[in-house]
Structure 1
Amino acid sequence: MQKPLSIQEALIWVMVTAAIADRNMTERELNQFERLIGFLPVFQGFEGSVGAIADACSENLKSVNGIDHILDRVAMSLPERLYETAYALAIEVAASDVDVKQEELVFLQMLEDRFALNKLAVAAIEHSARVRYRKIG
């Protein structure tokens, strides 16, 4: 059995997996990682290498049952009170491109199911992202 990820590593794994779900991590998504890690209290004191953490996550994703393995490691590493935070981070990354792809939606559904998130909380998180990323025209 592998050792648990740190809480911050687990949250970064969620963001990375959301970004590469459609097999295309964009510059916007990378910028969103930096922005979120730079200002959210849950990342206060983080001094790790996002690149190294992202590489480890990507390697796990390539393995047999990679997505399940990632979800297992993340769920094992996060306290339950941060499940909604992880979901919100995944939403932020997926929404940063404004056009959320089907593969990203599938990952979000898997995350919601794995964490057994409250449907009202999920709806509120998703609505909040839609409002923040709405275009003018």
Structure 2
Amino acid sequence: MSTAAQDALIQLMVVAASSDDAMSERELRRIETLVGRLPAFEGFDKGRITAVANACIDTLNGSHGLDQLVDDAIAALPVKMQDTAYALVVEITAVDLQLTQEELRFLELVRDKMELDRLVTAAIETAARARHRRMPR
């Protein structure tokens, strides 16, 4: 996969993590873990994560904002990677098992812009909840 597509995946995860106005240490660690383990990031220089994340935040704070960043990220992805991108976004938002309204709106925005099948997105969301569920105390 191209570096631009890998950067796009990271950008979407960073936006998901910061969509509730705060990127937690847990979310940052999850991004680093996913980049280090998933085949989609094969060949990616892990030392670039911070630079990609900072550029993403700069874009968010710039004149083009969220919609442009998401549009550009989706455009950089091969169509067959869109469900992977959505799964990564869901994975980051599910880390704390508490979805805020902002996170839910971001998921909806990404889902709509990618025009993913609703059954596919529901399956991705359910699988993420199951992976992050903790044993009752």
Q: State the TM-score, normalized to the length of structure 1.
A: 0.93
Shift of 1:135: 2.3
Residue 23 of structure 1 is matched in structure 2 by: 21
CA–CA separation in structure 2 for the residues paired with 1:7 and 1:124: 23
How far the C-alpha of 1:65 sits from its partner, in A, is 4.3
Corresponding residue of 1:44 = 42
RMSD after superposition: 1.4
Q: What residue in structure 2 maps to residue 60 of structure 1?
A: 59
Q: How far apart are 1:5 and its partner, in Å? A: 6.8
Q: Deviations over 1:78-119 (max 9, x none)?
A: 011111100000011111122121111110100000000000
Question: 2:64 & 2:110 partners in 1: Cα distance?
Answer: 15
Corresponding letter in the other structure for 1:120: L
Question: When the two structures are superposed, what TM-score results if normalisation uses the length of structure 2?
Answer: 0.93
Q: Which residue of 2 aligns with 1:35?
A: 33
Figure out how many residues of one structure are paired with residues of the other and give that number. 134
Q: Give unpaired runs (5+ residues) of structure 1.
A: none
Partner Cα separation in structure 1 for residue 117 and residue 32 of structure 2 = 28
Instruction: Please give the alpha-carbon distance, in whole angstroms, between the structure 1 residues aligned to 2:37 and 2:15.
Output: 21
CA distance in 2, matches of 1:34, 1:59: 20
Partner of residue 4 from structure 2, selected from 6, 29, 54: 6
